[in-house]
């Protein structure tokens, strides 16, 4: 299969609005690379059903919010194609063929799936257990060569690579073997100091949070539990307020000075949090403004989504034609 410009396929499950972790884990790379790569961004609503298929209204609202979040950080719809997963039924056909290629043992062994089940504390649907296989169909349907993701997704991309290799072995070279690209902060910690910042974890600072919400979240953010008084020496590693300073405060000298004084017990949480608020608020202001631009133009936003989904579907339809031929799926009709 010949491709002119290398392709990127990446995206988000609409299980909530996007947060700072998405920014450093994947959004930043999407924006940076969108002019170099033919970029496709997936609003993964079918994946969201695998979390809870009863939450239809919530999923649809989240699809729209995640769409706006992507535009707000600088995804340019004139360059990148941002589309709705369910608008490409061919992806689901490809998924059903891939399901036959992955053993049950391999599916339940996926570390991303195992971690998420533990973290989300739920009895997973089959759709959830098999979500990496659907993701393989999302990616391989475009023959994408690069997938910008956070570190938690590496085992999922590994499974995509395996499926592509297995398919190529049996049916001759069909799929490009994609590579994962992890962002500058592979796994941003949550405001609760636990695990990663996550949409479903109630431990996220959202890209769309207003100033008041941002202030509240920073004020109630977990810091160093072993530090009772401002004069106690504190820990900066694994401390969310410092991890966020390192990731988002452009004034490196200020961050170094705060970290030095924190370790020596010469600065209180108050000052560190107030300075973090200023840095994060400056970072979020242009993102909020761009979001507002599209929020105020819902007709334009919808038109872009409809057209982009049609464009994306054409690409996957071509892949499916080749896959069906190779698998001799419709030989008798």
Name which of 60 and 317 has its Cβ closer to ligand ATP: 60
- CB of 14 within 8 A of CB of 63? yes
Which span (20-28, 138-146, 213-221, 242-250) binds ligand ATP, by CB under 6 A? Answer: 20-28
Is 196 one of the binding residues for ligand ATP (CB under 6 A)?
yes
Instruction: With H, G, I as helix, E, B as strand and everything else as coil, classify residue 15.
Output: coil
How far apart are CB 56 and ligand ATP at their closest, in Å?
Answer: 16
Instruction: With H, G, I as helix, E, B as strand and everything else as coil, classify residue 100.
Output: coil
How far apart are CB 130 and ligand ATP at their closest, in Å?
Answer: 15
- CB of 1 within 8 A of CB of 176? yes
Site for ligand ATP (CB under 6 A): how many residues?
19
Name which of 190 and 323 has its Cβ closer to ligand ATP: 190
Is 187 one of the binding residues for ligand ATP (CB under 6 A)?
yes
Among 7, 8, 17, 22, binds ligand ATP (CB under 6 A): 22
How far apart are CB 80 and ligand ATP at their closest, in Å?
Answer: 16
CA–CA dist 143, 4 (Å, integer): 12
Which span (12-20, 70-78, 131-139, 267-275) binds ligand ATP, by CB under 6 A? Answer: 12-20
Q: What are the C-alpha distances in Å from 108 to residues 6, 117, 125, 128?
A: 32, 11, 12, 10
CA trace torsion 219, 225, 229, 235 (10° rounding):
-100
How far apart are CB 202 and ligand ATP at their closest, in Å?
Answer: 10
CA–CA dist 256, 242 (Å, integer): 10
How far apart are CB 21 and ligand ATP at their closest, in Å?
Answer: 2
CA–CA dist 147, 228 (Å, integer): 43
Among 8, 15, 69, 77, binds ligand ATP (CB under 6 A): 15
Q: Pattern of binders to ligand ATP over 133-162, x per CB under 6 A? A: ----------------xx-xx---------
Is 132 one of the binding residues for ligand ATP (CB under 6 A)?
no
In the chain, count H helices and then E strands. Answer: 15, 5
Which two three-digit tokens encode residue 47?
């994946």
**DSSP state string for 187-221:** SPBPTTSSSB--GGGT---BTT--HHHHHHHHHT-
How far apart are CB 297 and ligand ATP at their closest, in Å?
Answer: 25
Helix axes 154-171, 298-327, angle to 10 degrees: 40
Is 198 one of the binding residues for ligand ATP (CB under 6 A)?
yes
Is 13 one of the binding residues for ligand ATP (CB under 6 A)?
yes
Query: Beta-carbon neighbour count of residue 93 at 10 Å?
Result: 17
Query: Beta-carbon neighbour count of residue 256 at 10 Å?
Result: 12
Name which of 41 and 267 has its Cβ closer to ligand ATP: 41
Among 7, 8, 9, 12, binds ligand ATP (CB under 6 A): 12
How far apart are CB 25 and ligand ATP at their closest, in Å?
Answer: 2
CA–CA dist 241, 180 (Å, integer): 28
Is 200 one of the binding residues for ligand ATP (CB under 6 A)?
yes
Name which of 26 and 223 has its Cβ closer to ligand ATP: 26
Is 25 one of the binding residues for ligand ATP (CB under 6 A)?
yes
- Binding region for ligand ATP (CB under 6 A): 12-13, 15, 21-22, 24-26, 149-150, 152-153, 187-188, 196-200
């Amino acid at each position: 299969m010949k491709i002119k410009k290398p392709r990127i396929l990446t995206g988000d499950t609409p299980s909530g609005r996007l947060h700072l972790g998405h920014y450093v884990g994947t959004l930043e790379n999407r924006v940076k690379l969108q002019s170099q790569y033919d970029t496709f961004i997936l609003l993964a609503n079918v994946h969201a059903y695998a979390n809870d298929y009863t939450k239809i209204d919530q999923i649809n609202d989240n699809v729209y919010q995640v769409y706006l979040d992507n535009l707000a950080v600088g995804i340019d719809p004139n360059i990148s194609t941002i589309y709705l997963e369910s608008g490409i039924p061919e992806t689901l056909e490809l998924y059903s063929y891939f399901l036959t290629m992955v053993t049950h043992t391999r599916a339940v062994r996926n570390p991303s799936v195992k971690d998420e089940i533990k973290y989300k504390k739920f009895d997973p649907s089959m759709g959830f257990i098999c979500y990496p296989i659907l993701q393989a169909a999302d990616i391989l349907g475009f023959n994408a060569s690069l997938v910008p993701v956070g570190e938690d997704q590496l085992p999922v991309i590994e499974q995509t690579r395996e499926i592509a290799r297995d398919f190529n072995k049996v049916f001759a070279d069909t799929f490009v073997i994609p590579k994962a690209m992890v962002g500058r902060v592979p796994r941003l910690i949550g405001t609760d100091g636990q695990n990663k910042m996550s949409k479903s974890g109630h431990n996220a600072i959202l890209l769309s949070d207003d100033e008041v919400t941002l202030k509240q979240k920073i004020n109630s953010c977990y810091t160093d539990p072993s530090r009772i008084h401002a004069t106690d020496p504190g820990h900066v590693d694994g401390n969310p307020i410092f991890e966020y300073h390192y990731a988002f405060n452009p004034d490196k000298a200020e961050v170094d000075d705060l970290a030095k004084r924190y370790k020596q017990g010469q600065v209180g949480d108050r000052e560190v949090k107030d300075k973090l608020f200023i840095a994060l608020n400056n970072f979020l202001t242009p993102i909020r403004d761009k979001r507002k631009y599209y929020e105020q133009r819902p007709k334009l936003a919808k038109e872009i989504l409809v057209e982009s989904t049609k464009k994306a579907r054409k690409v996957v339809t071509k892949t499916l034609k080749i896959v069906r031929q190779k698998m001799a799926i419709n030989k008798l009709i």
